[in-house]
Amino acid sequence: MEVYLVAHAPTSVQRLEDFAKLAFNFGDPVKGLIVTKPSGVAAQVGLADVSKLAYKLDKKLIILPDIDDAIELLKPDEIYTVSHDFGERVEKLEVKGRALIIVGLTDPGLSKLEAQKGKAIYPSSPSGDIGPIASVAILLSGLKE
């Protein structure tokens, strides 16, 4: 099992750095971080900071123009999109083979079209929207059990 986290359209340095820390420090099964369509301060400052962190921790970091490029490059067996608005509520995520977990790091998150690029999911345990980073952490913790 291999999981790559995809941070789509980040605009906030802090949110990008927090997501990178989750990706780089989670351990197995997370193999790396892919950043797609970065803009604003996240593209100018955040990517440099995240690149330094990836180098220090000897982790994989890939920066691409869009989600489709990540799909084409990694050729995943499974694609999951994390979306509070469009996702099916799941208790536990089960991954087989290579998977991409795509998260929108800008408000309001992934658009409906972006969410449809994979199986749209969201953890069932929170009653409301807890944000993209916490959502992915909950989903990933189920993979470690």
CATH number at residue 29: 3.40.1280.10
Q: pLDDT below 70 — which residues of the chain?
A: 144-145
Residue 50 lies in a domain: yes
How many whole angstroms separate alpha carbon 135 and alpha carbon 78? 18
Residue 66 lies in a domain: yes
Residue in the block written with tokens 């929108």: 104
Residue 138 CA, distance from chain mean position = 12
User: What is the pTM for the complete model shown?
Assistant: 0.95
SS3 content of the chain, % helix, strand, coil (to 5): 40, 25, 35
The confidence score (pLDDT) of residue 59 equals 96
DSSP 43: I
The confidence score (pLDDT) of residue 144 equals 58
Residue 108 lies in a domain: no
How many whole angstroms separate alpha carbon 117 and alpha carbon 114? 5
The confidence score (pLDDT) of residue 65 equals 97
How many whole angstroms separate alpha carbon 131 and alpha carbon 108? 10
How many whole angstroms separate alpha carbon 73 and alpha carbon 122? 25
Residue 28 lies in a domain: yes
Range of the domain at 95: 2-99+116-144
Q: How many domains does the chain have?
A: 1
Beta-carbon-side half-sphere exposure of residue 129 (alpha carbons within 13 Å): 11
